[in-house]
């Protein structure tokens, strides 16, 4: 049996890929996650810019836009989806699901 380079049992589970989600604590706060009726293309045309990506294929994008310097910026999370069984990186037919974070 091969030993995994783990610092704890939890980190071993993460390496194996079968870890359960961490339980929510009483300090957890609700976060706005409101669906938007605008596509990624519309948001970019409206002045939002991509500031970060995540996911195996970069399919989750984080966008930001500052309306006024004295106000906090708006933050949006968009998830890109390919059509059918095509991997996103090879797809030319992509849809976006964008949600406001604040």
Q: Which domain holds residue 86?
A: 30-100
Dist CA 76 CA 60 (whole Å): 10
Residue 8 lies in a domain: no
Which tops the pLDDT comparison, 101 or 91?
Answer: 101
Residue 3 lies in a domain: no
Residue 21 lies in a domain: no
Q: How many CB atoms lie within 10 A of CB 43?
A: 21
Q: Which two tokens stand for residue 30?
A: 């609700």
pLDDT-derived band at 22 (thresholds 50, 70, 90) equals low
* Statement: residue 96 has pLDDT above 90: yes
Exposed/middle/buried for residue 44 (C-beta within 10 Å: 0-12, 13-18, 19+): middle
The predicted pLDDT at position 82 comes to 86
For 34-92, what is each residue's pLDDT tens digit?
A: 999 999 999 999 999 999 999 887 799 999 999 888 999 999 999 998 887 778 878 88
Residue 77 lies in a domain: yes
Residue 2 lies in a domain: no
Residue 54 lies in a domain: yes
Residue 96 lies in a domain: yes
Residue 92 lies in a domain: yes
- Number of domain units in the chain: 1
* Statement: residue 7 has pLDDT above 60: no
């Amino acid at each position: 049996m091969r030993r995994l380079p783990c610092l704890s049992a939890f980190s071993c589970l993460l390496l194996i890929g079968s870890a359960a989600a961490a339980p929510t604590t009483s300090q957890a706060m609700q976060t706005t996650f409101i669906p938007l009726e605008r596509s990624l293309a519309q948001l970019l045309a409206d002045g939002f810019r991509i500031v970060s990506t995540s996911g195996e294929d970069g399919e989750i994008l984080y966008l930001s836009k500052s309306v006024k310097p004295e106000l906090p910026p708006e933050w949006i999370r968009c998830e890109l989806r390919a059509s059918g069984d095509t991997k996103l990186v090879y797809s030319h037919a992509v849809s976006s699901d964008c949600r406001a974070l604040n």
